[in-house]
Amino acid sequence: MKPRPAARPLPQSQLTAALSNRSVQDGAFAASIVACRLPANLGMPGALGCLLLTGLYVLVRRGQARDALARGWSQLAYPAFALLSVAWTIYPAVTLRAAVQMILTAFAGLVLSQAARPRAVLTGLFVAYATYTLASLLADNVHPDGHSGALALYGMGGEAKNFFADTAGTAFLLAVATMAMGLERRAILAALSSAGVAVACAIATVRAHSAGAVAALGLAGGLLVALLVLRHRSPTLKLVAVLAVLGLLVLGAVSFQTLLTSIQELSGKDAGLTGRGYLWYRADFIIAERPWLGTGYFGFWTPGNPDAIGFWRHFNVRQEATGYSFHNSYIQTLVETGWIGLSIMVACWIGGTLALMRRFVLTPSLATCFWLSYLALQFSKSPVEPIRPAGLIAPTIMLFAALGFGCFPVARRIRSPVSGRGVPEPRFVLPVDGQQGYAFALPEHHR
């Protein structure tokens, strides 16, 4: 009696195959997590959706979440210090809630940074940021700038022009990175589409009427193009480029005010940085009262603080506007967590940036190029905008994804058993969902 033939497995539908694809999952989670926090009018439902999606992603990628903690734990130093500030803050309940939210947001970024397919994450982020930026550009939600009276483009969800300018600038960088992916695959139509999106995002950034955002985008965009051109070059040449970039960053930090002044003149903005000068002047006295530990994380801009109320009345802002800031990352951090908190935050930023630069020298990773340019976008605005970590906002997710990606392992070469021709065959040790194993190097389009 002949044995019965084995039953053929039922063919998977294209949808089922796509949903079970790890790259599709990573991209979908990245897009949905960030999309929940882009429109301001989503409010509490958006925040809840972001937390639930992050929790689901951690549940699906438990090994990846463990890797994020094991490799990127040092980036949680400032969030931990913010939580510790509950011990001396003026408003413990406010600080506790804000610090816990910031820790969860930072962890979401770190988990995304350790995805096995970094380009899938970038693609998902591109879809989220580009879709929202283009929709806001078409909605044409313009309002008079509070000081100059010029019409500024706001986000479709109602977020202020500076926040939307950051969104549009990030979308521009993602579009350029996506265009580079398309050119690499020789997908000309996809590359041209991404180029068109990049142009639209640049227009949206300019129309948001944020001088700092335009200056920062010029610096970050130029850096991204340079990194993409150099990424396949020799490590020695890339090391020289990194040293040159460090020099340019120092030069940019020194000359950023001159560049900003030129852009202000072109855009018609006032020389007083739209009231920032008065904020910074008054902040000196506030910092002097608690120089080392500050008022506690998120412990200043609260409706019960008389100093905050004085600022709101001076600028004719509603008292309940707790999202107000000193429009300077370092002054804001000094006020809230003092010199100790500022030192911890800056040390984390420097460590993450140096780790990314190391990855750029050692690998041709396109994702590394993007994350370095994203940090350039954020850090170049830090003297005029509050870039420091906050809870349940998209820029904080992106910031920790960038800093955490520096900890993503660089595959190290070992020698495999001798091949059939007696020639040693190079292989790599690659991390797969938290476990080390022998495998061939990932193809370039996965890096």
pLDDT band at 267 (very low <50, low <70, confident <90, very high): low
Ordered by start, the domain boundaries in the chain are 22-410, 412-447
Residue 273's Cβ-side half-sphere holds a number of Cα atoms within 13 Å equal to 18
Report the pLDDT averaged over residues 350-359.
95
Predicted local confidence at residue 367, as pLDDT: 97
Report the pLDDT averaged over residues 266-280.
64
Q: Is the pLDDT of residue 377 over 70?
A: yes
Predicted local confidence at residue 411, as pLDDT: 66
Predicted local confidence at residue 383, as pLDDT: 85
Predicted local confidence at residue 320, as pLDDT: 54
Predicted local confidence at residue 111, as pLDDT: 97
Q: Is the pLDDT of residue 255 over 70?
A: no
Strands 426-432 and 151-153: unpaired
Predicted local confidence at residue 8, as pLDDT: 57
Q: Is the pLDDT of residue 355 over 60?
A: yes
The percentage of residues in the chain with a pLDDT greater than 70, rounded to a whole number, is 80
Classify 144 as helix, strand or coil: strand
What H or E segment, with its residue span, contains residue 188?
helix 188-207
Lookup result for tokens 């990932």: 442
Range of lowest pLDDT (68-82, 247-261, 288-302, 423-437): 423-437
What H or E segment, with its residue span, contains residue 437?
strand 435-439
Q: Is the pLDDT of residue 102 over 50?
A: yes
Report the pLDDT averaged over residues 305-330.
79
Mean pLDDT of the chain: 85
140 or 32: whose pLDDT is higher?
A: 32
- Helices then strands, counting H and E runs in the chain, come out as 16, 5
Predicted local confidence at residue 78, as pLDDT: 97
Predicted local confidence at residue 295, as pLDDT: 95
Predicted local confidence at residue 246, as pLDDT: 81
Q: Is the pLDDT of residue 223 over 90?
A: yes
Predicted local confidence at residue 15, as pLDDT: 65
Report the pLDDT averaged over residues 326-334.
92
Report the pLDDT averaged over residues 346-375.
96
- Under 8 Å between Cβ of 86 and 296: yes
How much is the CA Rg of the chain, to the nearest whole Å?
Answer: 23
Q: Is the pLDDT of residue 443 over 70?
A: no
Q: What are residue 82's phi and psi, to 5 degrees?
A: -60, -40
Predicted local confidence at residue 420, as pLDDT: 41
Report the pLDDT averaged over residues 146-168.
84
Q: What is the DSSP string of 272-335?
A: TGGGHHHHHHHHHHHHHHSTTT-S-TT-SSSTT-HHHHHHHHHTT--TT-TT---S-HHHHHHH
- Under 8 Å between Cβ of 398 and 129: no
Q: Is the pLDDT of residue 264 over 70?
A: no
Predicted local confidence at residue 250, as pLDDT: 72
* pLDDT per position as a tens digit, 45-98: 999 999 999 999 999 999 999 999 999 999 999 999 999 999 999 899 999 999
Which residues, in sequence order, are bridge partners of residue 435?
Answer: 432
* pLDDT per position as a tens digit, 394-435: 999 999 999 999 999 886 444 444 444 433 333 334 443 333
Q: Is the pLDDT of residue 221 over 90?
A: yes
Nearest-10 Cα torsion for 34, 37, 42, 47: 100
Burial class (CB in 10 A: 0-12, 13-18, 19+), 395: buried
Q: What is the DSSP string of 279-294?
A: HHHHHHHHHHHSTTT-
The percentage of residues in the chain with a pLDDT greater than 90, rounded to a whole number, is 61
Could you tell me where the DSSP H helices lie in 61-91?
62-72, 77-84
